[in-house]
Structure 1
């Protein structure tokens, strides 16, 4: 009888814990990633999820943006990796691109979309392949968000979707299993390493593509913009160490040199006044950081009169 009671108590506890993980924290509701022969991978289209209290939306074109409805709106493309994607740590309403849509629409009294085309660990080559596949959505303005490491970030087509825990291709059956495999075990492993970042807040992407050569993605996007009469602006996001050192590292300098040689407009975050508390790890931004990017680009667009 005692054994039966213990067993029933365990089942009840398991069910309660499972419900708490699912409905309070969003376990078993992770954004799903799909493999792609050209792009490498992108988020599954038409997702609307709630994870750790944050709403995560991917529209019909796998953008982290609301669905595209108005064909006559002014379109700006925000292109990049997990920095502007925000991951599950940033609510849809707190994304820089979402904030910019609202601010620009209110300021110019026009329907303006600032679309978020991004995924964790994408480099310029991934971005270019996305544009080749889906087009430019009649945009005349590209904001390419990069960090110093993107100078050497190349597509490798290494299979990671469904293998790396950061690129799931299906939901877990049980929330407790997801908690254990995706969070508890890696955190225990990290506690035995020299990593100072928490598991949830550390860079939510794998270093899938690096080389000694400057990636061709920058040149490809630059030439595409020239051919299609699109204004290209590169936003160079600084890692926390660069911010503390008050200078870009050597790979960041390569990106700066590329922009100078090709007369590409560059916004270098090093020169933007902000505090270290915008970071949630060495590279990713919290809500305050997303707002900093939105405010910076909003003021930049007004200053150079990008939109008439």
Structure 2
């Protein structure tokens, strides 16, 4: 039992803790640098002095003030929140399903959000702030349905049952979504701008709406981390260590729903981030979720903001959507990561 306890708490060595702390500090610095770039870089070139004065001492009517405070600052805040949410949700999803190629959409969250957005469009929700509530409600209902199906009669959901139920519900809801869109061209024209995944066009109101859900999800994720370490050893071992498996799964799924539901509602489905980020963070921290989850969150924030900045400059003065940039960059990065660090994908 002593050996088992050491496995369940893998971050006790005096040498590994400073290394992980340094990695966490480096990621925080990377996020700060990405925030600065997001405020400074765009279609309109601004000097660092102009950006600074627009934030701390804006001049009424100045062009730099309008660009930074009204456009780039809300976009940067939203990108920071969504990146934190998707990074942490990716680590939780891979941990709870014990599937190294799982992403937050595996639990039906993205499909549920998309289905509800189409319903909202057909009911007359013509503002992005209106889509947020429909998308979040759809993500929540789909995830509850997946969790209920996976729980079955065995007293709790297993990783395989969660993955299979999520795939089934995602396929079903995607089919319903496509059927509704094919029958209504107007809904299709509105929906396609949401589904591509983007930070552009979102004002400060969107970030304010999703902030409480993301904050609650991050808190639940950190609370769930010790239990997830035990669950990684197998459910029987986790029970022997005193863990309540059903409660741990429920808290983890609730955190995933809050984080991914809010992120998807705000920006649309953004792929690859929740899949790739946990592997990159795991290379720095190892499998201990007490370190992996915060490092994944910071990596996700830095990666999403960097992708958004890249999308602004590669086709300037036009703009490439963030979801497209992440798909283009994330796929080869993930392939290279798997080929070079085969041990990283072991959960």
Q: Would the TM-score normalized by the shorter structure come out above 0.5? A: no
| Structure number having the greater helix percentage | 2
Normalization by structure 1: what TM-score? Answer: 0.28
Normalization by structure 2: what TM-score? Answer: 0.26
| Structure number having the greater strand percentage | 1
Which structure is richer in relative contact order (CA contacts within 8 A, separation 6 or more)? Answer: 2
